[in-house]
């Protein structure tokens, strides 16, 4: 199952005793702050979770998969995610003990 914004709002409200509208406002504010920082080119570090980084991709040649014709792809900025060592260890530990993997 995918964790959605609605799941985050519900979990935040339940865990902290907030009204749903308060939790929704907090989640929206957090997302807006992250988007603002990334769009201005800044990285976003969440300790124990990971780092969202903005990278510049240069102009390059590509190919249209439908027609096979060559084309020039414009330069662009992309967001990458580098997970923290603690998150990596937690994910790897939980997958080793998960009986559903066999």
Instruction: Please list the pLDDT of the chain residue by residue as tens digits (102 residues).
Output: 899 999 999 999 999 999 999 999 999 999 999 999 999 999 999 999 999 999 999 999 999 999 999 999 999 999 999 999 999 999 999 777 655 554
- Mean pLDDT of the residues in the chain: 92
Q: Indicate whether 28 and 59 sit together in one domain.
A: no
Q: Indicate whether 69 and 94 sit together in one domain.
A: yes
Assign residue 58 the CATH number of its domain.
4.10.520.10
* Total domains present in the chain: 2
| Tokens at 20, concatenated | 């749903």
Q: Indicate whether 9 and 34 sit together in one domain.
A: yes
Model pLDDT, residue 65: 92
Domain extent, residue 67, equals 43-102
C-alpha span between 52 and 20 (Å, rounded) = 27
Could you tell me the end-to-end alpha-carbon distance of the chain, in angstroms, rounded to an integer?
Answer: 19
* pTM of the model as a whole: 0.76
Q: Indicate whether 36 and 4 sit together in one domain.
A: yes
Percent of the chain with pLDDT over 70: 94
């Amino acid at each position: 199952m995918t964790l959605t914004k609605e799941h985050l709002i519900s979990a935040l409200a339940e865990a902290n005793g907030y009204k749903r509208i308060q939790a929704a406002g907090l989640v929206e504010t957090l997302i807006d702050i992250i988007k603002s920082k990334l769009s201005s080119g800044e990285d976003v570090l969440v300790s124990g979770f990971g780092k969202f980084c903005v990278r510049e991709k240069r102009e390059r040649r590509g190919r249209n998969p439908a027609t096979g014709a060559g084309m020039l792809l414009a330069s662009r900025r992309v967001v990458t995610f580098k997970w923290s060592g603690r998150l990596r260890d937690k994910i790897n530990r939980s997958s080793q003990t998960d009986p559903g993997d066999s």
